[in-house]
Amino acid sequence: MMRDYSASTSGTLSARMRGPAANVLDAIGNTPLVHVDGIWAKLEFLNPSGSIKARIAKYMVEKAEKEGLLKPGDTIVEATSGNTGNALSMVAAAKGYRMLVVMPKGMSGERVAISRALGAEVLEVGYFHVNEALAKARELGQKPGYFCPAQFESEWNVEENRVWLGPEILSQLPEGAIPEALVMGVGTGGTLVGVGQAFREVNPDVKLIGVEPDESCTILCGETGRHAIEGIADGFVPGIISRHRTLLDEVVAVTSEESLAEMRRIARQYGMFVGPSSGAHLVVAQRLWKAHPELKTIVTLFCDEGEKYISEHFHDAAANGGRIEEEDATK
């Protein structure tokens, strides 16, 4: 049985470092796949712009260019809880477009700062949930000279995950291993559905498990609430999930508290400084494995970097491993 409790790598780091990248966007992808506590975790937080969203940002912008929807001098506008805003700001800067990020207030300040640092304008609309930002971005996207990728709706989001991220994970699993379960939080649902479709091509029985916060279980129970797992549960059921709901086997709720504790453990124990959704994913993947020990290959994703949450979750000493003050240490 292929169980390994160490964090061994089966990645393609060397592929990422081969030759000088012509452009920062060439460094997106080829992230390592590591074995953490018996679960395969795809280290998407290592992408430029610090999250999984670098992939859809590059993919959707290049698709729009090919289809003639985006021309030099145009403005890209998108609603986001933050990571897609950071990723699109990077892509827009690298390609010379203007970028307008529409996001709710109440998200970590780092995400706003990163988009601004990358040259974007940030318009804060609504509070915590993305509903109002979504309406605003849609409205602005209709204007001449604007393009809105519409990540919550677009099949291009699903397509990227089916043709790029999904096959990349499959190519990194050890020979003979096929995914038996995918555990992934739902923001747009693009990763769960698109990677899920890629996995179903090699294993029609692979379980596709969505994750949402207990405090905001929108798909499971139609409720929204304040939670700490930024990037998932944005306040509504996204179009992608409404369209592809029948593909999912289950949606599981996890508390913010458990997710944050696991996020901290991953950093301390494995040296991977990730955000709250990574903690949520590992908690649910572990639970699934305990309930179904027959599942040998469970895959999940570590989606963004802890650096984006320093002001929210890593400022006090206790959260940072309880630094011993010099005075105490000498006692």
| Residues with catalytic roles | 53, 277
Smallest gap from Cβ 107 to ligand PMP, in A, equals 10
Nearer to ligand PMP, 37 or 78 (CB): 78
Q: Which one among 30, 31, 81, 115 touches ligand PMP, defined by CB under 6 A?
A: 81
The token pair at 280 is: 């949520």
Cα separations in angstroms, 80 against 125, 223, 278, 294, 302: 11, 20, 18, 38, 19
Among 126, 231, 279, 306, binds ligand PMP (CB under 6 A): 231
Residues 35-54 that bind ligand PMP (CB under 6 A): 51, 53
| Closest approach of ligand PMP to the CB of residue 44, in Å | 9
- Residue 241 vs 288, nearer CB to ligand PMP: 241
Establish how many alpha carbons lie within 13 A of residue 69's alpha carbon, considering only the half-sphere containing its beta carbon.
15
- If binding is defined by CB under 6 A, does position 196 make contact with ligand PMP? no
By beta-carbon proximity to ligand PMP, the closer residue of 141 and 275 is 275
245 vs 296 by CB, closer to ligand PMP = 245
User: How far is residue 224's CA from residue 236's CA, in Å, rounded to a whole number?
Assistant: 8
Query: Three-state DSSP class for 233?
Result: coil
Q: Which residue in the set 75, 256, 259, 277 belongs to the binding site for ligand PMP (CB under 6 A)?
A: 277
Contacts of 104 (CB under 8 A, 6+ apart): 81, 124, 125, 126, 127, 128, 129, 130, 132, 133
Mask for 102-121, x = binds ligand PMP (CB under 6 A): --------------------
Q: How far is the CB of 71 from ligand PMP (least distance, A)?
A: 27
What is the smallest separation between the CB atom of 108 and ligand PMP, expressed in angstroms? 11
What letters, b where the CB count within 10 A reaches 16 and e where it falls short, cover 284-323?
A: bbbebbeeeeebebbbbbbbbbbebbeebbbeeeeeeeee
What is the Cα–Cα distance from 53 to 277, expressed in whole angstroms?
Answer: 13
Binding residue (CB under 6 A) for ligand PMP from 83, 172, 197, 286 = 83
- The one among 303, 306, 309, 313 contacting ligand PMP by CB under 6 A: 303
Smallest gap, in angstroms, from Cβ of residue 211 to ligand PMP?
9
- Backbone angles phi and psi of 297, in degrees to 5: -125, 95
Q: Which of 24, 17, 40, 42 is nearest to 32 (CA)?
A: 42
The answer to whether the CB of 94 falls within 8 A of the CB of 161 is no
Q: Round to the nearest angstrom and report the end-to-end CA distance of the chain.
A: 48
Comparing CB distances to ligand PMP, the nearer of 104 and 275 is 275
What x/- string results for residues 173 through 192 when contact with ligand PMP is judged by CB under 6 A?
Answer: ------------xxxxxxxx
Closest residue to ligand PMP, based on beta-carbon distance: 231
What is the closest distance, in whole angstroms, from the C-beta atom of residue 49 to ligand PMP in the complex? 11
Among positions 212, 304, 306, 309, the unique one binding ligand PMP when judged by CB under 6 A:
304
Three-class SS state of 264? helix
Select the residue interacting with ligand PMP from 50, 104, 213, 275 (CB under 6 A): 275
Q: Is 23 left (phi over 0), alpha (psi -120 to 50) or beta?
A: beta
Applying CB under 6 A, which residues contact ligand PMP? Answer: 51, 53, 81, 83, 185-192, 231-232, 275, 277, 303-304
